[in-house]
Amino acid sequence: MNVPVGLAALLEELEQQERELVFGSFDNLTAWRLGTALAERALADELPLAVAVRRGPQRLFHVGLPGSSADNDGWLDRKMAVVDRFGHSSYLVGTRFQVGGGDFDTDARLDTRLFAAHGGAFPVLVRGVGCVGSVAVSGLPQEVDHAVVVGVLREFLAAGG
């Protein structure tokens, strides 16, 4: 099977992000600080986002910013369910299905009312532990949602997050 070059490059970039964006530890206060950093970025850029951070099943941070709606909360839950199930970003999971010639919504055999492999949810990865939760935004096209999360994670971790 021939994978389009752009799709193969995107997959490699998404995999690299997960190798790079790893916490030394993660607790409730870290979740609050990360969520606040995301919310502040969205406010500064006037992005109509809903933001959530979870550790395991516990939602430690949630906010719906101006322009977001309850629909965005549903998207947060569905994208975070993909991270919970696969241990990878929702965008990476959806892209892997595409690279394999498939479509997550039909080929994953999961209820699309509960799971959405669209960009915007990223695993909270702890060095030596693995995936302990997720961070997500919803409100913009999937590649933009994903880029917002990755950009803030990168800055947060570089600052000692």
pLDDT beyond 70 at 98: yes
This prediction has a pTM of: 0.95
Rounded CA separation 11/5 (Å): 10
Nearest to 88 by CA among 128, 97, 75: 97
pLDDT band at 119; cut points 50, 70, 90? very high
Comparison of pLDDT for 96 and 2, the residue scoring more = 96
Rounded CA separation 59/45 (Å): 24
Rounded CA separation 81/114 (Å): 7
Other Cβ atoms closer than 10 A to 98: 16
For range 30-56, the mean pLDDT: 98
Residue 161: predicted pLDDT: 79
Other Cβ atoms closer than 10 A to 105: 14
H helices then E strands: how many in the chain?
6, 4
pLDDT beyond 60 at 125: yes
pLDDT band at 3; cut points 50, 70, 90? low
The domains located in the chain, with CATH, are: 5-158 (3.30.450.150)
Interacting residues of 108 by C-beta distance below 8 A, sequence separation 6+ = 97, 115, 117
Q: In what order do the strands lie in the sheet with 58-64?
A: 58-64, 50-55, 130-138, 121-126
Nearest to 140 by CA among 128, 150, 148, 131: 148
Other Cβ atoms closer than 10 A to 139: 23
Rounded CA separation 78/119 (Å): 11
